[in-house]
Amino acid sequence: MNPNDLPGAEVAHLDAAEVARRLSRLADLEQQMQDRSEELAWTSERLVTELYDRHAADAAVDRLERFDSATGLPNRRTFEHRVGRALEAQMQGDEPSAVMIIGIERMKQLRETIGFKGADRVALQIADRLRIAVRGSDMVARIGDDTFALWLAQLRRAEDAIALARKLFDAIDVPLLVDGREYRVEPAVGVAVSPQDGANADLLLARAESAMNYAREHGTGLYQFFRPDIAQRTAHRLRLEAELRAAIERDQFRVHLQPRVDLRRGRVIGAEALLRWQHPERGLLLPGEFLDVAEETGLIVAIGEIVLQRACAMAARWPSTLSIAVNLSPREFRGKSMLDMVQTALRTSGLPAARLQIEITEAGLNRALDEVDAAAIAGLRGLGVQITLDDFGAGGASLSVLRTVDVDRVKIDGRFVQHAVDDVRDAHIVSAIVALARKLGLRVVAESVETAAQLALMKKIGCHEAQGFWLGRPISPGEFEIPNSVTPPARPTRAPVRKNKVRPRT
């Protein structure tokens, strides 16, 4: 503010001090106006920045909602939407199209081994290989942690999907490189074709996934096309799962007992606890009719706990010379829950730990060896519980399992026992197993002994124990007589039937 800016008449009547005061006030007002102007400019700039940031955040959220963050591929939601639009667009045409689901085995184990970031790099490599393998008109998506999906448009005929399925299998079935190390995954492919398998995206996806699961479980080869019986099987498994959950709540599971005999002394030394399901409509069911579903759903843990508690309670009332063997799933050997479960069963029943044997199949242990907590097995043995490797010789990795897991006895797979009398090769295999076990300080049990000749041969070869229908059938606890002599139970009068255990079928 300059004094010359003031009106001349006003300046004439003002003294110097008043002029200075007014000038100072005007200067303050001018500074305030400048400050306000700068503040408004800063606010405006900040608002624009926040608007840009908000837009970028909305775009990022939108992308996360529609695409997989690790691979950049469309996710399930986007895939379904795009397939639905494609199906609507081709409604007027008669060309077939297909949805293909690719399940990747062992992704869970990879995550546990190389971490989430390493598993993401594996997924990205698989995605890149799929992108390269498909045609330009096809769409690739990642619809789950271990599942990819493809939309195959403009097929001349449904069988054209076969060639692509083989191509995709070959592309994935090549070692993946992560941090200088090679890893392998195993794909399973399911295919659903439109319009015969469904006219909407949701149904095609569901049926392709059912076909993929069937291929994975049954080893049908590189791929599996959907069939109506696969849908029926899926519906049956869902119904069975619901019935199993109800069976646990309604206490429908039973324990039957099969005698175990010491071959040297001819004495009954205990029994094996075998699972049965008293189904309200279908009667008494053997494990083979429901055990696979119990394994897949994790219900086997609760069922195994029921069997363990009841078996220990029964054995606690027997003479101290008798023991009880209980089959448990490898799934139950993950972490300290197994130790807690066994300790609880022993404590509540009063059964000494040395009179309890836990059996786990060799094949089941081999499949889940990376997941089984070796400390849990060592903890059981530390309590005094004995560990038996069941169905020994049939799991494909017998010697490897023996190196990895400490056990007290091996139970020879019944197929070797039953054929040893007539097949010299099986006899030699049994002899070799017995010799190896003795060298390692393990007891040997022959299971599925069904004839006098088989019993005599197992005793001659050097097996310590045996069980089977020749020595005693599985019976209810009320029928099981506590032995008071060295004479084994009488041989059966009915034709032998295979036993079923509380374990996965092999």
The separation between CA 433 and the C-alpha centre of its own chain, rounded to angstroms, equals 31
Residue 305 CB-half CA count within 13 A: 17
Write the Ramachandran bin of 262: left for phi over 0, alpha for psi from -120 to 50, otherwise beta.
Answer: beta
How would residue 336 be classed by pLDDT, with cut points 50, 70 and 90? Answer: low
Predicted local confidence at residue 95, as pLDDT = 76
Mean pLDDT of 190-197: 88
Mean pLDDT of 302-309: 94
CB 367, CB 330: distance < 8 Å: yes
Residues 201-232 have pLDDT tens digits of: 889 999 999 899 888 877 655 688 888 888 78
- Pick from 153, 26, 173: nearest CA to 99: 153
Coil, strand or helix: which one is 80? helix
How would residue 311 be classed by pLDDT, with cut points 50, 70 and 90? Answer: very high
Mean pLDDT of 50-75: 73
Residue 368 has pLDDT above 70, yes or no: no
Predicted local confidence at residue 404, as pLDDT = 77
Predicted local confidence at residue 416, as pLDDT = 94
Residue 485 has pLDDT above 50, yes or no: no
**pLDDT > 70 fraction of the chain, expressed in percent and rounded:** 84
Q: What's the rounded Cα separation, in Å, for the pair 345 and 127?
A: 48
Check residues 496 and 361 and name the one with the higher pLDDT. Answer: 361
- Pick from 200, 225, 212, 276: nearest CA to 500: 276
Check residues 468 and 232 and name the one with the higher pLDDT. Answer: 468
Predicted local confidence at residue 145, as pLDDT = 87
Residues 390-441 have pLDDT tens digits of: 988 876 556 777 877 889 999 999 999 999 999 999 999 999 999 999 999 9
Instruction: Please report, in angstroms and rounded to a whole number, the separation of the first and last CA atoms in the chain.
Output: 99
Mean pLDDT of 256-264: 95
Tokens of 203: 């149904």
Predicted local confidence at residue 61, as pLDDT = 58
Amino acid sitting at position 139: M
> Dihedral of CA 401/403/407/411: which sign?
positive
CB 140, CB 127: distance < 8 Å: yes
pTM of the model: 0.67
Helices 424-439 and 452-461 pack at an angle, to 10 degrees, of: 40
Residue tagged 């895939």 (tokens): 79
Mean pLDDT of 458-478: 95
Predicted local confidence at residue 337, as pLDDT = 77
Predicted local confidence at residue 238, as pLDDT = 85
List, in sequence order, every residue forming a beta bridge with 101; answer none if it has no partner: 149, 190
Tokens of 302: 């609760």
Residue tagged 């379904």 (tokens): 80
Beta pairing, strands 267-279 & 283-285 = antiparallel
Compute the mean pLDDT over every residue in the chain, rounded to the nearest whole number: 83
How would residue 264 be classed by pLDDT, with cut points 50, 70 and 90? Answer: very high
Check residues 279 and 92 and name the one with the higher pLDDT. Answer: 279
Tokens of 131: 């992108």
For 192-200, which contacts have Cβ atoms below 8 Å and span 24 or more sequence positions?
192/98, 192/99, 192/225, 192/226, 193/96, 193/97, 193/98, 193/158, 193/161, 193/225, 193/226, 194/87, 194/96, 194/97, 194/98, 194/99, 195/96, 196/96, 196/158, 197/226, 199/87, 200/84, 200/87
Residue 249 has pLDDT above 50, yes or no: yes
What kind and span of H or E run contains 24?
A: helix 16-66
**pLDDT > 90 fraction of the chain, expressed in percent and rounded:** 41
Tokens of 303: 């069922």
